Chain A
């Protein structure tokens, strides 16, 4: 009875991997709820390598076949059913997510250690929500259907918001509530746009829509509403208001997940909408608006970061700035015709920025967490001596900072160099000025922290906690990954192009 509808090709050989990528973490959430107590932590730690293996296998399958991996859930083809699809971009995002979740999970074992007896509120919530975020992110990266993606975004929102207020202080609950309101407003706008797409074209699957969408007011309105909603979730200036208190107030491992990964999901969907749903449509004027907001985010976020008194707030404002770089991709890569050489270059630069910022920022937030734990505070003015007390941690912070500044060798350098060359080659030199200015400002705030940390303390430093070498090693490993991204030869970047519309 199943009518094969419009879908080119059928389910690919490794398609079940895509189901596992979503199902494993979500099943973990259910098990954690059922068993409770110490089991939540154990389940997360067992699923971490398993999930990473699934992400690795997916990436390998996409690379080997040079084709999109797809799976039709329930055996129903779109438009009736829902498809999961992994192109090169999805695979890379899944892999980075798997690596970061594993690193952050290992780091969090001390902070969110389960009590010997019974169940602790914060550990139970943290480990359960960590798995839920992983499932939500994979669902976003693999979703091929606008409504299924809405559900994935909701999963992500409801897993991410409670992480902000895990320590239960009134100010963090306020920050979490503000985050929730922005995120829900974003959801509503996204859903409105999806409804308009269905109303106009009778389908929600991205593959089908890309063939049907025409340049007309309904499509523009739908994409504008969805983009606005996603910008609220991604905290692009001027929708950034919720981000600094939420990301700075959360416990360090939660900040690393929120700043490194969660805000990348809405960005990923904007990329999907602009390049996959409406490929080749004349929307350059709108792309200039996105670029302008990105530029404003870079300048505003960096300047405000320079003026922060607290380390975690400085890093949070730096996230506001680095999110701006992601959106410089649009004015440089959106072209009336596809296959424009610099367009691919700028698109890749934007994606590399998303990956390298994820890794670098996770390392920096974790480093800040260790510094705050050791000192009992995170006042930048009183960091003197910490460089000697926690040299590995401060080194990790500096290496992460290298990527933010865009200095070689680092993933940030590759990303910013690609955006810069695209800007210069296309004659849109003003974006190049923004990239360079942002790099200088980032150098300013990273140097500020390093200079204070390496200074000699006036009185001998008394640490309020000792930090195990293991946790410092995890942070350094993440920071080294951010550096190593700068050594990745250009060939694997081809992986990102698999499944892109030509």
Chain B
């Protein structure tokens, strides 16, 4: 109880600090801390799957993206402070935010107790999916179509971001090439962390069928390792027109679609699995799906093509 109270106060405090921070970099740091605290709250609410996702995607990957953006905005920061909205507008925005929050709090308190839930139905039908983790059952079986389309959204975000490149750089590698520094601290960190990180990613992915974890969380850690390797200059990002990269990007959703369409014939419906092979088929989907999501996430952080294409 005391821990919950401390957490609640901390989260609100960090949130206010993040909004109030003048410096973009400071605000990003606040945002990352906020994400980690929210992940702790999910743990306290006995939702470890959500906690893992919040820590990996909400705090980690988004934090990385924001950090990259704040570095690029550094030069224009002084100029932008001059364009801050006036006091009246800030006051109005704060008032609206407080009112909306108060309204939402009131609504949450109005929700029926005990909350109506589908959890018993999820549990009652889980045997047909061959899985033990109810969250994975929802994502890969009951609502597989949502997961499939959500992965497509990620891919489209990547296509959209790539389309921001100037025409002459199309086909080049995303982001800037970081020079390798064999004696650098980052290189050392990367060399130590990479094998460990990849093992953790595989573990998180693998336990997804029985325990909290799964392809999105595993993929985020994979992506983080890739980003670390490119930041340390150990590897360059691949050119956006390379065929193998394109195939890696689409492998997951393509296999998902293939097995989904096969479902018409072998299980009587699109995205249905025959009960005996459900777990195996889901695993066959999840392996390429994890790789595709990891590649997409890493490339989203890398940015649009910025290096001259090699012709």
Q: Do A155 and B152 touch (CB < 8 A)? A: yes
- Which of B104, B115, B149 is A192 in contact with, Cβ under 8 Å? B104
Give the size category of B's interface with A.
35 or more
Q: Do A125 and B159 touch (CB < 8 A)? A: yes
- Tell me the A178-227 residues at the B interface (CB within 8 Å): 192, 196, 199-203, 217-218, 221
Which of B127, B145, B257, B267 has the largest count of A CB atoms less than 10 A from its CB? Answer: B145
Q: Do B128 and A151 touch (CB < 8 A)? A: no
Q: Which of B33-41, B43-51, B105-113, B212-220 contacts its partner?
A: B105-113
Q: Do B170 and A119 touch (CB < 8 A)? A: yes
Q: Do B152 and A74 touch (CB < 8 A)? A: no
Q: Within the assembled complex, what's the spacing in Å between the Cα atoms of A454 and B254?
A: 53
Q: Do A74 and B263 touch (CB < 8 A)? A: yes
Cβ contacts B248-261/A at 8 Å (1 or 0 each): 01100110010001
Which of A5, A72, A125 has the largest count of B CB atoms less than 10 A from its CB? Answer: A125
Q: Which of B85-93, B116-124, B180-188 contacts its partner?
A: B116-124
- Tell me the A1-59 residues at the B interface (CB within 8 Å): 1-3, 5, 11, 16, 19, 23, 26-27, 29-30, 33-34, 36
B102 contacts partner chain A, Cβ-Cβ < 8 Å: no
B71 contacts partner chain A, Cβ-Cβ < 8 Å: no
Min Cβ gap A170→B in Å is: 11
Q: Within the assembled complex, what's the spacing in Å between the Cα atoms of A125 and B165?
A: 11
Q: Within the assembled complex, what's the spacing in Å between the Cα atoms of A122 and B115?
A: 49
Q: Do B269 and A33 touch (CB < 8 A)? A: no
Chain B residues touching A, majority SS? helix
B200 contacts partner chain A, Cβ-Cβ < 8 Å: no
Q: Do A147 and B162 touch (CB < 8 A)? A: no
A383 contacts partner chain B, Cβ-Cβ < 8 Å: no
Q: Do B142 and A2 touch (CB < 8 A)? A: no
B270 contacts partner chain A, Cβ-Cβ < 8 Å: yes
Closest to A128 in B: B159
Q: Do B263 and A34 touch (CB < 8 A)? A: no
- Tell me the A132-150 residues at the B interface (CB within 8 Å): 132, 135, 139, 147-148
Q: Do B128 and A2 touch (CB < 8 A)? A: yes
Q: Tell me whether A33 and B246 are in contact in the complex, defined as CB-CB below 8 angstroms, given that A122-B167, A132-B156 are known contacts.
A: yes
Min Cβ gap B166→A in Å is: 6
- Tell me the B144-174 residues at the A interface (CB within 8 Å): 144-146, 149-150, 152-153, 155-157, 159-167, 170-171
Q: Do A80 and B121 touch (CB < 8 A)? A: yes
Q: Do A5 and B121 touch (CB < 8 A)? A: yes
Q: What residues of A have a CB within 8 angstroms of the CB of B257 in the complex?
A: 23, 26-27, 30
- Which of B111, B143, B159, B165 is A200 in contact with, Cβ under 8 Å? B111
Q: Do A165 and B141 touch (CB < 8 A)? A: no
B232 contacts partner chain A, Cβ-Cβ < 8 Å: no
A336 contacts partner chain B, Cβ-Cβ < 8 Å: no
Min Cβ gap A114→B in Å is: 12
Q: Within the assembled complex, what's the spacing in Å between the Cα atoms of A378 and B143?
A: 48
Min Cβ gap B9→A in Å is: 24
A63 contacts partner chain B, Cβ-Cβ < 8 Å: no
Q: Do B141 and A74 touch (CB < 8 A)? A: yes
- Tell me the A57-107 residues at the B interface (CB within 8 Å): 71-76, 79-82
- Which of B108, B124, B146, B250 is A3 in contact with, Cβ under 8 Å? B124
Q: Do A168 and B155 touch (CB < 8 A)? A: no
A375 contacts partner chain B, Cβ-Cβ < 8 Å: no
Q: Tell me whether A36 and B241 are in contact in the complex, defined as CB-CB below 8 angstroms, given that A122-B167, A128-B159, A132-B152 are known contacts.
A: yes
Q: Tell me whether A1 and B143 are in contact in the complex, defined as CB-CB below 8 angstroms, given that A26-B152, A33-B249, A80-B121 are known contacts.
A: no
B277 contacts partner chain A, Cβ-Cβ < 8 Å: no
- Which of A33, A74, A118, A158 is B270 in contact with, Cβ under 8 Å? A74
Q: Within the assembled complex, what's the spacing in Å between the Cα atoms of A135 and B155?
A: 14
Q: Within the assembled complex, what's the spacing in Å between the Cα atoms of A298 and B249?
A: 45
- Which of A3, A34, A196 is B125 in contact with, Cβ under 8 Å? A3
Min Cβ gap B138→A in Å is: 8
B98 contacts partner chain A, Cβ-Cβ < 8 Å: no
Q: Do A29 and B156 touch (CB < 8 A)? A: yes
Q: Do B149 and A155 touch (CB < 8 A)? A: yes
Q: Do B261 and A158 touch (CB < 8 A)? A: no
A407 contacts partner chain B, Cβ-Cβ < 8 Å: no
Closest to A200 in B: B111
Q: Do B167 and A151 touch (CB < 8 A)? A: no
Q: What residues of B have a CB within 8 angstroms of the CB of A74 in the complex?
A: 141-142, 144-145, 263, 269-273
Q: Do B267 and A75 touch (CB < 8 A)? A: yes
Question: How many residues on the A side are at the interface (Cβ–Cβ under 8 A)?
Answer: 60
Q: Do A121 and B163 touch (CB < 8 A)? A: yes
A166 contacts partner chain B, Cβ-Cβ < 8 Å: yes
A161 contacts partner chain B, Cβ-Cβ < 8 Å: yes
A173 contacts partner chain B, Cβ-Cβ < 8 Å: yes
Closest to B251 in A: A34
Min Cβ gap A2→B in Å is: 7
- Which of A36, A151, A166, A201 is B149 in contact with, Cβ under 8 Å? A151
Min Cβ gap B36→A in Å is: 21
- Which of B124, B167, B254 is A121 in contact with, Cβ under 8 Å? B167
Q: Do A221 and B124 touch (CB < 8 A)? A: no
Q: What residues of B have a CB within 8 angstroms of the CB of A409 in the complex?
A: none
Q: Within the assembled complex, what's the spacing in Å between the Cα atoms of A166 and B170?
A: 13
Closest to B145 in A: A73
Q: Within the assembled complex, what's the spacing in Å between the Cα atoms of A5 and B125?
A: 12
Q: Within the assembled complex, what's the spacing in Å between the Cα atoms of A297 and B117?
A: 41
Min Cβ gap B122→A in Å is: 7
A162 contacts partner chain B, Cβ-Cβ < 8 Å: yes
Q: Do A139 and B143 touch (CB < 8 A)? A: no
A159 contacts partner chain B, Cβ-Cβ < 8 Å: yes
A152 contacts partner chain B, Cβ-Cβ < 8 Å: yes
Min Cβ gap A180→B in Å is: 9
Q: What residues of A have a CB within 8 angstroms of the CB of B149 in the complex?
A: 26, 139, 148, 151-152, 155
B275 contacts partner chain A, Cβ-Cβ < 8 Å: yes
Q: What residues of A have a CB within 8 angstroms of the CB of B161 in the complex?
A: 162
Q: Tell me whether A76 and B107 are in contact in the complex, defined as CB-CB below 8 angstroms, given that A147-B146, A162-B160 are known contacts.
A: no
- Which of B156, B167, B249, B270 is A19 in contact with, Cβ under 8 Å? B270
B13 contacts partner chain A, Cβ-Cβ < 8 Å: no
A373 contacts partner chain B, Cβ-Cβ < 8 Å: no
Q: What residues of B have a CB within 8 angstroms of the CB of A173 in the complex?
A: 164
Q: What residues of A have a CB within 8 angstroms of the CB of B157 in the complex?
A: 158
Q: What residues of B have a CB within 8 angstroms of the CB of A151 in the complex?
A: 146, 149-150, 153
Q: Tell me whether A73 and B153 are in contact in the complex, defined as CB-CB below 8 angstroms, given that A119-B171, A125-B162, A218-B107 are known contacts.
A: no
A444 contacts partner chain B, Cβ-Cβ < 8 Å: no
Q: Do A34 and B250 touch (CB < 8 A)? A: yes
Cβ contacts B218-255/A at 8 Å (1 or 0 each): 00000000000000000000000101001101100110
Min Cβ gap A258→B in Å is: 14
A450 contacts partner chain B, Cβ-Cβ < 8 Å: no
Min Cβ gap A130→B in Å is: 12
Closest to B128 in A: A1
Cβ contacts A104-127/B at 8 Å (1 or 0 each): 000000000000001111100100
Q: List 10 A-B contacts (CB under 8 A).
A: A3-B121, A33-B246, A36-B243, A76-B142, A76-B272, A79-B121, A151-B153, A165-B163, A192-B104, A221-B103
Contacts A125-B159, A132-B156, A200-B112 known; list 19 others, CB within 8 Å.
A3-B121, A5-B121, A33-B250, A34-B254, A74-B142, A75-B269, A79-B118, A79-B121, A80-B142, A81-B143, A82-B142, A118-B171, A121-B165, A139-B149, A151-B150, A155-B156, A162-B161, A168-B166, A217-B110
